[in-house]
Each structure stands twice: as structure tokens, then as C-alpha cells.
Amino acid sequence: MKEIISGVQVNIPFRMLTEGYLSRFLDLGLNPEIGVDADALDHFSFDEFKQVAVQFHERNLSVTVHGPFMDLTPASPDPDIVAVTEKRFDQLFRILPALSPRNLVTHAGYDPRRHFFMADVWLARSLVFFKKAAKRLQDLDCRLMLENVFEEKPEDMMPLFRGIDSSNAGICLDVGHMNALGTVGMDHWLSVLGDHIGEIHLHDNHGDRDSHLPMGQGTIDFKRLFRFIQERKPILTLEPHHEEDLYGSLEFLSSNFSRYFHCKME
């Protein structure tokens, strides 16, 4: 189990780390993917972020960050929404040096049901924002990872990714979103995104909603996924919404894919 724990990130909102979960993460040796939302940006200082992050780094634990996303879009036709989005990411970039993350995950943000009539405008506006973000992250030795949410197929993501055109950008494939919100199968996602996938979010569902079940309790074909992971070795991140779900996913990995983690550690 130790090899598995050391081989994955675990999503955790920053505020939860300040409310008791920091000691649990450190005791278990969990690598955090720290969720930094508007609440954290408004209520914690640079030094408070650093005080938490240094405890992970002193133990040689890996840190990644998930950026703010609720109601934010840099491609909005409303300039006030764009201004709020830019404000939140400016706040984020000011505290990122305190966290020293390997990756910054952010939602790519294309929703074909809402943006189909303005796809070209959406892309042009998004490119201005994400090109700037990828460039700023280079100085922090941190990669930008674009995550799928409402995108129905990988082709919905590729124009943005190709347009950013940076070695400092990659794809974060969220297999739960893919299964619940996508319209094509896993093989197609993996084939199109391929080597661009630098991180994978691991949780499960039954294809009806983004329920964030422990791995193995839904319909996602993790055996197929791990054949891909074996070849590419992206960062793997568990996204439990309840503490017991974390242990369920760790047990599933231990029972089904422990060999991958042993090989990865060698």
C-alpha cells in the first residue's frame, strides 16, 4: 500500500488542510492536489499557503494544484465575468510560488451545449488567457494541465490545446467526467489525446452523473485505462468527495494494480 500512496496525488481543498486534514495527509504520506478556490484566495495569505506547503516539501511529498473554476470563464462575452476570472487567476499566481506545484490543473471550459454558437470566439478569447497562463507557469517550473469537464469528445479540447502551442501545457483527463458527460468511448479519448495526457483524475460513476464514487464502484474500465497509464506514466490523482472513498480507491488500486505501482517505484 505504501507504494500506491506514494504514487498518487489526492485532491484536498486548501481550507480542509487548515482544519485538521494536514496532519492526516502528513501521517499517511499522501501527496496533495491542493484545491485553491475563491474562499482560500480571499482568506489566506502567502505565508499561510507556504506554511502548509513547506511541510509537504520537507517530507519529499509531491504537490499539485487545482485552480479555481466555479462560475469562471475567460471566454465570457460579459467583460465583468472576464474581469473576475482574471482577478482570481492573478490571485492564484501570486500564491503559487508558496506552493511550488508540479502541475496546475484548470478546467478547459468548453461546453458544446452553451458555446456551440460562439465556438470561434470562445477559442480566441480562451487562447489569450491560457497562453499567458502557460508562459507565467514556466518561470515556476510548473505545467498547465487543461481538464475536460463538459467536453463531449476529445476533439472539443484539441483546438485550445494546439493553439496554446507550449511544451509547458498538457491535458488532465478526468475519467469520471469522460464517463458521465462524454459521448464517445475511452479508446477514442486515449487515442486522440495520447501523449498529451500529463495527468489523470481517477474516480468512478455509472455514466449518469459525476458522482465521484470510489474506483471500482461504477462502470469505468480501469483495466483498459491502466494499460494506457503503464505506457505513458502520467501523474495520477484521486478525487474522493468523502474520506471513506479515498480508502475505497486505495484498496481497489492495491487489489487490481499494485504491480503497476511496484514497477513504477523500481
- In CATH, the architecture of 2-265 is Alpha-Beta Barrel (3.20)
Contact present, 178 and 221 (Cβ < 8 Å): no
Helix (H, G, I), strand (E, B) or coil at 123: helix
pLDDT of 242 higher than 60? yes
Longest dimension (CA), the chain: 51
| 155-199: pLDDT as tens digits | 999 999 999 999 999 999 999 999 999 999 999 999 999 999 999
C-alpha cell at 169: 501545457
Position 266 scores a pLDDT of: 47
> Which residues are CB-contacts of 97 (< 8 A; sequence separation ≥ 6)?
140
Position 104 scores a pLDDT of: 98
Position 33 scores a pLDDT of: 98
pLDDT of 262 higher than 90? no
Please report where in the chains the cell 519529499 appears, as a residue: 60
pTM greater than the 0.75 cutoff: yes
Backbone angles phi, psi at 178, to 5 degrees: -55, -45
CA distance 252 to 266: 21
CA distance 119 to 117: 6
Question: Domain segments of the chain: what residues?
Answer: 2-265
| 74-121: pLDDT as tens digits | 999 999 999 999 999 999 999 999 999 999 999 999 999 999 999 999
Position 265 scores a pLDDT of: 52
Helix (H, G, I), strand (E, B) or coil at 104: strand
Position 49 scores a pLDDT of: 98
pLDDT of 223 higher than 90? yes
Contact present, 155 and 181 (Cβ < 8 Å): no
C-alpha cell at 43: 482568506
pLDDT of 263 higher than 80? no
